Chain A
């Protein structure tokens, strides 16, 4: 059996925003099952080993339990995070455009299991097609009578609403999303308190990525063992990998979690464009440690990638071929982060800007040894100085590019 697109992107499930077709394709069954036995849902998810697929890899069930355990607050929120803005990541866009009902049903089942009554679909307005599709899908759920039936069984009202996000990169951070839902600018908050205890307006809040939620219905229907058996090696289930860069066939590929990197690039991605050799791989998006050709054998699951010092992140795999200037590429990404910094933490606001400026200078041949030293100093003093992980991502990127490609930094120096 082909390993490609077995679950989330299975051709039968890519029905678009048509609820009738989704129900005909077996939709709704998972939600009914969750309604029959809400207390078993978290156990099943835990047994399946579902992890946060938005980048953290944090066990989903643990967050859910924390929220489910909260009592005494008026509301409980679920924010379905679709603020996708990371360079090289397009999986949520595809998921929302082609199978929005899967995500909504997953969100509803999650709400049932954790006693959540307010569901917010938080979607980046920059991905217009996705926003339109999920909006259309949502309207059909509202009119279908499912929500009323749910509310009757659960004995509390469940609301479902679509909220276009700010579109800012930092808005994808969990606490920033909470701020936006509260109607404020998406500044990330410090943690603790954790959202599970003190989220939107002080209520317990669960935040999961769209892809994580989309997996829920399938696990409930087919069981934990089935989900585990999908993975390869240490991975469970499947993962949406966004392959881009200098490969012949870029795109979103759903493959078993733990598929080796080279299989993704050469078997599914059609190999390198113009048969150029690989120079580096930005795995998990650009805010991560760089991988090099010797890491091609790494199985793409959270733990194996972490063992190489990198992170699977959102599943973005940006492949860069020989000939690409690493300094230029890093400068481009750091510039992205400098643009994206929300500006509330001075070290991040000035640090990213300053790093971007130095990189630009070095790349265009105007830099000196002192500039390079300053850049390396920044990498020592900046980590941990921001509320969110934006700054740490920048430092990881810089550090790993120093580690593998120091000569490219040194070559254009003036002295």
Chain B
């Protein structure tokens, strides 16, 4: 579909960094704006699930295709696969996975951390803005709780949110103990900034690469522990179940050797992250290469209930130009610091510090109604007014957002002199696997933490709550999983849950030649090549 808007050059000529545009009056109500412009409300993109624990519930079509697909492997592939036994298996090498592995190991468990790519190849490193924790004097966990519940449109699980906000300050302390750096003032106190939708300044950060710094510290700590074995390049293609239906381990695949391995574990923690690389509704994504909803697919097959399968976060500020960086995340920290959003006419059209879903919907409205800035037939966007910010606080961008500056300057855009063109980018799955306060799912032995767990952010997540979520629930899941590791492990493990899936597919008349989890984006042209065949 060809996109309309004001041509880039023309809009740039009309742009003036000296202007101080006023906030428009008479904005639409939140519900009205979301219903009309937010991609979650595109009703023809949604279907009802036909099988599994969430049968009959609404789900995005692209995700439903994966949840209702056949397993990649069957018993035949397991013949000859080597078996490794461990106490806790953590799947995923991002922040949640590392936090879970570390706490499980501290709890006395032998841990294997299996990750599809390499340790640290994750969305955690993409997180820029910071991590929320109510550490300021005028702030409290209660206010953090209220903001999070309000931001999630009231559909978050209050027990999980309570745990999240109460753990906040301790999570920061824990991260500092792991060696993570934060930005501090001249007295050594943590600096904070305010997130969109928050009532107090409570985002602590490390420049505009907070997640990268977090991952650096966690990665080193994990590598230094001898009781955590890291299996890189080992995508999990299926979980294992015992005869009671408990989760009892997983099957990994080695793309190099074309072989499968069996890991028997007393508890499995899924921390596989999100699904941006499904490019739902054709949106670009800020997510890393491996974000393909694998954890949701694996957990669903085991019988875990999922939630909010139709609720995604489109981050308002993904780069639209230079086009090779499409989807690249521009931190919300810029808007927190006071940068305006302007349409092609140079007008402000939304309060920049409203929650993300609202801001994104407002941007989509501007573009849909022809007030966006048009680069070519595929690319439109709105301005993020960085020169104005630079004018008011000279040197601020270079000091606080060095990563952004470095990246876009390579594309010959200088944010101190010309505004950045941005467009919403598929950023986060608000829902996920239903968990309790310890990250436990309804399947015994199966835990979830991080983006693939649901219920914490309701239908919209606030900035900085994701980094808090992964560490808070990663630690809780790790501790709980290690607690249950006594005795001699599972007596029998197998793929009975896969048989159950195939039965359901047969009975529902669904195709059985579509396979999942997809592991890599479609454009990776990845195929399982078993050495057997």
With contacts A87-B243, A248-B506, A273-B506 taken as known, whether A364 is within 8 angstroms of B81 at the C-beta atoms is yes
Is B527's beta carbon under 8 Å from chain A? no
Q: How many B residues face the partner with a CB closer than 8 A?
A: 24
Q: Do residues B79 and A363 form an inter-chain contact, with CB atoms below 8 A?
A: yes
Is A126's beta carbon under 8 Å from chain B? yes
Q: Give the residues in chain B near A329, CB-CB below 8 Å.
A: 75
Is B74's beta carbon under 8 Å from chain A? yes
- Bound Cα distance from A91 to B301, whole angstroms: 25
The contact string, 1 if C-beta is below 8 Å from chain A, for chain B 493-514, is 1101001001100110000100
Q: Give the residues in chain A near B75, CB-CB below 8 Å.
A: 246, 320-321, 323-325, 328-329
With contacts A273-B499, A274-B506, A325-B75 taken as known, whether A88 is within 8 angstroms of B80 at the C-beta atoms is no
Is B28's beta carbon under 8 Å from chain A? no
Tell me the smallest distance from the CB of B259 to a CB of chain A, in Å: 10
Nearest chain A residue, comparing its CB with the CB of B81:
A364
- Bound Cα distance from A334 to B141, whole angstroms: 53
Nearest chain B residue, comparing its CB with the CB of A321:
B75
Is B488's beta carbon under 8 Å from chain A? yes
Is A303's beta carbon under 8 Å from chain B? no
With contacts A323-B75, A328-B75, A336-B492 taken as known, whether A249 is within 8 angstroms of B81 at the C-beta atoms is no
Q: Do residues A363 and B503 form an inter-chain contact, with CB atoms below 8 A?
A: no
- Bound Cα distance from A115 to B496, whole angstroms: 45
Nearest chain A residue, comparing its CB with the CB of B489:
A339
Tell me the smallest distance from the CB of A34 to a CB of chain B, in Å: 36
Is B2's beta carbon under 8 Å from chain A? no
The contact string, 1 if C-beta is below 8 Å from chain B, for chain A 377-409, is 000000000000000000000000000000000
Tell me the smallest distance from the CB of A212 to a CB of chain B, in Å: 23
- Bound Cα distance from A88 to B488, whole angstroms: 20
- Bound Cα distance from A363 to B82, whole angstroms: 8
With contacts A246-B499, A274-B512 taken as known, whether A365 is within 8 angstroms of B80 at the C-beta atoms is yes
Tell me the smallest distance from the CB of B310 to a CB of chain A, in Å: 31
With contacts A87-B243, A126-B244, A246-B499 taken as known, whether A325 is within 8 angstroms of B488 at the C-beta atoms is no
With contacts A323-B74, A324-B76 taken as known, whether A248 is within 8 angstroms of B503 at the C-beta atoms is yes
Nearest chain B residue, comparing its CB with the CB of A329:
B75
The contact string, 1 if C-beta is below 8 Å from chain B, for chain A 334-350, is 01100110000000000
Tell me the smallest distance from the CB of B56 to a CB of chain A, in Å: 21
Is A333's beta carbon under 8 Å from chain B? yes
* Partner among B79, B243, B489, B512 whose Cβ is within 8 Å of the Cβ of A327: B79
The contact string, 1 if C-beta is below 8 Å from chain A, for chain B 121-140, is 00000000000000000000
- Bound Cα distance from A145 to B47, whole angstroms: 57
* Partner among B79, B503, B507, B512 whose Cβ is within 8 Å of the Cβ of A325: B79
Q: Do residues B502 and A274 form an inter-chain contact, with CB atoms below 8 A?
A: yes
Is B173's beta carbon under 8 Å from chain A? no
With contacts A333-B492, A336-B491, A339-B491 taken as known, whether A273 is within 8 angstroms of B79 at the C-beta atoms is no
Is B83's beta carbon under 8 Å from chain A? yes
Q: Which of A87, A126, A273, A323 has the most CB atoms of chain B within a 10 A radius of its CB? A: A273
The contact string, 1 if C-beta is below 8 Å from chain B, for chain A 247-277, is 0111000000000000000000000011000
Tell me the smallest distance from the CB of B68 to a CB of chain A, in Å: 16
- Bound Cα distance from A109 to B79, whole angstroms: 50
Tell me the smallest distance from the CB of A91 to a CB of chain B, in Å: 14
Interface SS majority for chain B: loop
Is B12's beta carbon under 8 Å from chain A? no
Q: Do residues A339 and B488 form an inter-chain contact, with CB atoms below 8 A?
A: yes
Q: Give the residues in chain A near B512, CB-CB below 8 Å.
A: 274
* Partner among A126, A323, A365 whose Cβ is within 8 Å of the Cβ of B76: A323
Nearest chain A residue, comparing its CB with the CB of B75:
A324
Q: Give the residues in chain A near B80, CB-CB below 8 Å.
A: 325, 328, 363-365, 412
Q: Do residues A87 and B502 form an inter-chain contact, with CB atoms below 8 A?
A: no
Q: Give the residues in chain B near A87, CB-CB below 8 Å.
A: 243, 491-492
Tell me the smallest distance from the CB of A171 to a CB of chain B, in Å: 14
Is B442's beta carbon under 8 Å from chain A? no
- Bound Cα distance from A340 to B243, whole angstroms: 15
Is B33's beta carbon under 8 Å from chain A? no
- Bound Cα distance from A340 to B79, whole angstroms: 23
- Bound Cα distance from A87 to B493, whole angstroms: 10
Nearest chain A residue, comparing its CB with the CB of B78:
A328
- Bound Cα distance from A364 to B494, whole angstroms: 16
- Bound Cα distance from A412 to B502, whole angstroms: 29
Q: Give the residues in chain B near A335, CB-CB below 8 Å.
A: 491-492
Nearest chain A residue, comparing its CB with the CB of B79:
A325
The contact string, 1 if C-beta is below 8 Å from chain A, for chain B 75-93, is 1101111110000000000
- Bound Cα distance from A246 to B501, whole angstroms: 11
- Bound Cα distance from A323 to B73, whole angstroms: 11
Tell me the smallest distance from the CB of A393 to a CB of chain B, in Å: 14
The contact string, 1 if C-beta is below 8 Å from chain A, for chain B 457-495, is 000000000000000000000000000000011011110
Tell me the smallest distance from the CB of B248 to a CB of chain A, in Å: 11
Tell me the smallest distance from the CB of B257 to a CB of chain A, in Å: 12
- Bound Cα distance from A366 to B515, whole angstroms: 31
18 residue pairs from A and B, CB less than 8 Å apart: A169-B491, A246-B75, A248-B503, A248-B507, A250-B499, A273-B499, A274-B506, A324-B79, A332-B492, A332-B493, A332-B494, A335-B491, A363-B79, A363-B80, A364-B80, A364-B82, A364-B83, A365-B80
Q: Which 4 pairs between the two chains have the least Cβ-Cβ distance?
A: A325-B79, A323-B76, A324-B75, A336-B491
Instruction: Add 12 more A-B contacts to A325-B79, A363-B80 (CB < 8 A).
Output: A88-B243, A248-B507, A249-B503, A250-B499, A273-B499, A274-B512, A321-B75, A325-B78, A325-B80, A328-B79, A328-B81, A364-B80
